[in-house]
Structure 1
């Protein structure tokens, strides 16, 4: 009996963490900030188990790319559990909203674009900033269209470039300024990309 009570307590703790501590109840009112990036690429905030089952049934999601760090907290444990149950591969590449990723992290994301089975769901916590970065990166890499890429960074997705997360916009502003083409992206990352330079340049622009 104590074992089952312990399981119930753990289950309650995980759902409490997801819905209350991680603010899933807020995301519910915003339809989890779910949007289509491309015909088989989607973006959202942290999905609940119910969201994941819905996305699997409606969009046949095969891969979930989470930009959050794996942890022993409820939101991750529940996501991992339901993904395994319904045959979705969960991949984590943690990035931050106010710090640009390293070149190796960006290259890893690009490699995943080329190698992963589709359809794919990309998410962070709110689906605004980190998810916006990866969505914009995907569209630039696929279509070589900087305006199309930057459209993923807007208030429509609750991304505000006038806060510290504007560093994400600065990344794509730099790409636009130097006239980078998508087939030059890997070379730029290897030889020219400097997140510290972009950050300092961004800070000066805010003074």
Structure 2
């Protein structure tokens, strides 16, 4: 849930937060290359972890009313700075824990469904790199909120999002593939499938990744 009164950072804490974002979380790479910021449908956006000055720019330019942090309620200097910034700008900040290399418990997916229906838009969904978890949430948003067929959402792609479906991160694609296979047998909605048929063990056991893509994503790109 959003915290309406996040702790105010001291100048020293704020300086450390900037240093942590740039060095420890490799923010300098995203600044030099891309923040992976993209529009999603009519009322949402997706991105990686944005530098504070970039987040402020998008809040004001795109009229953002909600920021959903898919890294979860972790206590890092970067996210402390983000929460403080959102409070100052009058934007709701919500933490939702998604994974890039695993499937999710049904209650987490249904919580995402509830949040998408209740949050104020325009909204930003972000993770660390903006490639995997942000793409997963963007897919759910387009399907549930804008009634886009899953086959047409196109949010889990190499270009322009840098999502690698053949690495362990491809388990996110596999989740939707297993649902679409079930839908071929019966006209079941994604939400009902999650409630009645979805099995985390089935997703994990039926998915295979490529070791070389795993090396690229885990050791070279060092994705979270």
Residue 188 (structure 1) aligns with: 193
| TM value normalised by structure 1 | 0.89
Secondary structure, counterpart of 2:155 in structure 1:
coil
Judge conservation of contact 1:144–1:182 (CA < 8 Å) in 2.
no
How far apart, in 2, do the equivalents of 1:122 and 1:109 lie?
11
Higher helix share: 1
Does the C-alpha gap of structure 1 residues 187 and 143 become closer, same or farther in structure 2, counting only changes over 3 Å?
A: same
| TM value normalised by structure 2 | 0.83
Residue 203 (structure 2) aligns with: 198
The one-character-per-residue Cα deviations of 1:122-159 (angstroms, maximum 9, x if unpaired) are 0000000111111112222232412222x101112010
Paired positions, count: 200
Candidates 18, 32, 51, aligned match of 2:54 = 51
The one-character-per-residue Cα deviations of 1:63-113 (angstroms, maximum 9, x if unpaired) are 000101223321111101100001010000111101111111111111111
How far apart, in 2, do the equivalents of 1:138 and 1:57 lie?
22
Unpaired runs of 5+ residues, structure 2, are 1-9, 212-224
Secondary structure, counterpart of 1:51 in structure 2:
helix
Residue 148 (structure 1) aligns with: 152
How far apart, in 1, do the equivalents of 2:75 and 2:139 lie?
30
Candidates 94, 97, 105, aligned match of 1:94 = 97
Secondary structure, counterpart of 1:189 in structure 2:
helix
What root-mean-square deviation, in Å, do the aligned CA atoms of Structure 1 and Structure 2 show?
2.1
Does the C-alpha gap of structure 1 residues 182 and 103 become closer, same or farther in structure 2, counting only changes over 3 Å?
A: farther
Secondary structure, counterpart of 1:10 in structure 2:
helix
Residue 4 (structure 1) aligns with: none
Unpaired runs of 5+ residues, structure 1, are 1-6
Judge conservation of contact 1:62–1:119 (CA < 8 Å) in 2.
yes
Which segments of structure 1 move beyond 4 Å, counting only runs of 4 or more?
180-183
Judge conservation of contact 1:19–1:25 (CA < 8 Å) in 2.
yes
Does the C-alpha gap of structure 1 residues 147 and 186 become closer, same or farther in structure 2, counting only changes over 3 Å?
A: closer
